[in-house]
């Protein structure tokens, strides 16, 4: 297809969006907002307060917090203006040398590192323990696939300034309530502990290769036990270590019996004693809250991000074909990289894009009406349209969403529009209704209609 622009024939390019991003139509947005509101309502019940941070952060804030793999997935923003003027001629031939000079900002990778920067920057204005929730998009330069996007929303809840395991207990309770409210009661919540993983590394004889161990375990869901073994062997682990590791590549219900079994499997150390104490405290607090949902201790759960220090969580929806829909854990020194020590924290994050995909596939949005208006006001001629506009102002003043059909069309055409938009009611105005200052109100589901005053319409719809 061609179009003449400035006297020249130019090819018209069909517009597209970048891979790994999506457009959302009004119906999609109503469903996404349903998920966001469900999560937000639970956060509010547990005393969390909202914040927002910029979409971009200084690249120095982001790098070095997610490990080497995470740093590779950062979207960097090119400096504006003549960004090459400060670079040397030799630098221009070396992309990695040039990059920090021409891209000093980046899109946020998650909401946790920006939170740490936020807490340090505003610590004199906050009351600790500080309970914050944040619901904003993040960006990762990942390879797009099912359930994995380059732009997606996270819904975080974090408790900053307390080492108490009551924080973890609250977050487990939040998991349960959110998933039940979203009709995803078959969710599976797994837990592990970074200090327990350190103890496993010590037990198999590779305490100095903890990072390689967590990177391999983090791929367990994709490559299985044999794949993890191959990864570790390529990283220098021997066969004896692999055999010692295999008993830990399992999940069991978190209870005293499971903890005792794991205690018998790992060598006694500061790491293991800390982990087992934390897990026992968590069980105690959950019992006090009368929490009945099942929690699994999973030795394959590593969550490779470098900032975790204690309990780590991951939630999945079995048989969905999608990986984790939520994750999180304890990070007791994240603010230390910004110069403020001893600021413990724990948090979780829901990925609403994956939750949305699962709920859409399961048809869990059937009862959500995407139309924000309750009533469509229809008319026959100019005078009745003007009357409709007057009535619309009265209804909106009472908090009732409504629309006036904008064009002079046949009533059948206006009713067809109302049906397609899923209006609950239609108000029809002709000459008689204008004279009597009334309106014929029709319930679009039952088909029942009667002529009533505007005051009566407000009473019914308010």
Block residue for tokens 């998009």: 137
Give every CB contact of residue 17 below 8 A, 6+ residues apart in sequence.
23
User: Around 54, how many Cα atoms within 13 Å sit in the side-chain half-sphere?
Assistant: 10
Residue 346 confidence (pLDDT) above 90: yes
Residue 305 confidence (pLDDT) above 80: no
Residue percentage of the chain with pLDDT more than 70: 92
- DSSP 3-state assignment of 1? coil
DSSP per residue, 145-202: BTTB-SEEEEEEEEEES---THHHHHHHHHHHHHHHHTT-TT-EEEEEEHHHHHHHHH
Report how far apart, in Å, the C-alpha atoms of 432 and of each of 383, 395, 437, 440, 449 are: 11, 20, 8, 10, 16
Average pLDDT over residues 94-102: 66
Nearest to 353 by CA among 69, 100, 36, 99: 36
Q: Using CA atoms, how far apart are residues 386 and 174, in angstroms rounded to an integer?
A: 50
pLDDT of residue 182: 96
Category of 415 on φ-ψ map: left (φ > 0), alpha (ψ -120 to 50) or beta? alpha
Please state the φ and ψ torsions of residue 262, each to the nearest 5 degrees.
-65, -35
| Average of per-residue pLDDT values in the chain | 91
Residue 11 confidence (pLDDT) above 80: no
Residue 3 confidence (pLDDT) above 70: no
Residue 142 confidence (pLDDT) above 70: yes
- The fold of the 21-177 domain, in CATH, is BirA Bifunctional Protein; domain 2 (3.30.930)
pLDDT of residue 235: 92
Residue percentage of the chain with pLDDT more than 90: 77
Residue 360 confidence (pLDDT) above 70: yes
If you ran DSSP here, which 8-state letter would residue 11 be given? E
Which tens digit of pLDDT belongs to each residue from 104-140? Answer: 899 999 999 999 999 999 999 999 999 999 999 999 9
pLDDT of residue 181: 96
Which tens digit of pLDDT belongs to each residue from 394-447? Answer: 999 999 999 999 998 999 999 999 999 999 999 999 999 999 999 999 999 999
pLDDT of residue 4: 59
Average pLDDT over residues 305-333: 91
Q: How far is CA 157 from the centre of its chain?
A: 10
pLDDT of residue 86: 60
Least confidently predicted of 161-165, 362-366, 405-409: 362-366
Q: How far is CA 55 from the centre of its chain?
A: 15
Which tens digit of pLDDT belongs to each residue from 37-59? Answer: 999 999 999 999 999 999 999 99
Class of domain 375-461: alpha beta
Least confidently predicted of 74-88, 214-228, 329-343, 354-368: 74-88
Could you tell me the pLDDT band of residue 372, with boundaries at 50, 70 and 90? confident
Average pLDDT over residues 336-348: 90
Could you tell me the pLDDT band of residue 147, with boundaries at 50, 70 and 90? confident
- DSSP 3-state assignment of 239? helix
- DSSP 3-state assignment of 388? helix
Average pLDDT over residues 169-186: 97
pTM here is: 0.86
Q: Using CA atoms, how far apart are residues 98 and 78, in angstroms rounded to an integer?
A: 11
Residue 381 confidence (pLDDT) above 80: yes
pLDDT of residue 233: 94
Q: How far is CA 440 from the centre of its chain?
A: 45
Could you tell me the pLDDT band of residue 75, with boundaries at 50, 70 and 90? very high
Residue boundaries of the structural domains of the chain: 21-177, 375-461
pLDDT of residue 256: 96
Query: In the chain, what are the helix, strand and coil shares in percent, each to the nearest 5?
Result: 45, 20, 35
Q: Using CA atoms, how far apart are residues 272 and 156, in angstroms rounded to an integer?
A: 29
Let me know how many helices (H) and strands (E) the chain has, helices first: 17, 19
């Amino acid at each position: 297809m061609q179009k003449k622009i400035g006297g020249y024939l130019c090819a018209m390019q069909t517009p597209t969006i970048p891979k790994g991003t999506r457009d959302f139509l009004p119906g999609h947005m109503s469903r996404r907002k349903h998920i966001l509101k469900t999560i937000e309502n639970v956060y509010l019940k547990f005393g969390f307060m909202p914040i927002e941070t910029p979409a971009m952060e200084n690249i120095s804030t982001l790098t070095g917090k997610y490990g080497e793999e995470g740093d590779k997935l950062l979207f960097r923003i090119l400096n504006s203006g003549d960004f090459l003027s400060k670079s040397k001629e030799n630098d221009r031939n070396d992309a990695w040398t040039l990059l920090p000079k021409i891209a000093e900002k980046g899109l946020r990778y998650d909401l946790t590192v920006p939170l740490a920067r936020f807490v340090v920057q505003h610590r004199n204005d906050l009351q600790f323990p500080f309970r914050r929730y944040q619901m904003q998009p993040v960006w990762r330069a990942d390879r797009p696939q099912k359930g994995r996007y380059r732009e997606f929303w996270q819904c975080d809840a974090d408790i900053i300034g307390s080492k108490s395991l009551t924080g973890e207990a609250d977050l487990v309770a939040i998991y349960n309530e959110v998933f039940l409210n979203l009709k995803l009661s078959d969710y599976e919540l797994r837990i592990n502990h970074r200090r327990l993983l350190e103890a496993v590394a010590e037990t198999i004889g590779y305490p100095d290769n903890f990072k390689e161990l967590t990177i391999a375990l983090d791929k367990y869901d994709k490559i299985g036990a044999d794949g993890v073994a191959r990864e570790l062997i390529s990283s220098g682990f021997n066969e004896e270590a692999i055999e010692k590791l295999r008993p830990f590549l399992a999940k069991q219900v978190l209870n005293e019996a499971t903890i005792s079994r794991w205690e018998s499997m790992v060598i006694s150390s500061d790491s293991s004693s800390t982990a087992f104490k934390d897990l026992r405290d968590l069980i105690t607090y959950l019992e006090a809250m009368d929490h009945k949902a099942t929690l699994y201790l999973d030795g394959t759960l590593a969550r490779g991000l470098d900032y975790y220090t204690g309990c780590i969580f991951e939630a999945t929806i079995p048989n969905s074909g999608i990986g984790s829909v939520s994750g999180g854990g304890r990070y007791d020194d994240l603010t230390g990289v910004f110069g403020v020590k001893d600021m413990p924290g724990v948090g979780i994050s829901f990925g609403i894009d994956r939750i949305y995909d699962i709920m859409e596939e399961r048809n869990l949005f059937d009862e959500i009406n995407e139309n924000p208006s309750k009533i469509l006001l229809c008319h026959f001629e100019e005078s009745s349209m003007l009357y409709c506009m007057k009535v619309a102002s009265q209804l909106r003043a009472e908090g009732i969403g409504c629309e006036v059909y904008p064009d002079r069309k046949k009533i059948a055409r206006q009713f067809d529009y109302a049906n397609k938009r899923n209006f609950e009611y239609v108000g029809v105005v002709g000459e008689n209704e204008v004279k009597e200052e009334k309106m014929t109100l029709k319930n679009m589901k039952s088909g029942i209609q009667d002529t009533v005053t505007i005051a009566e319409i407000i009473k019914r719809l308010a």
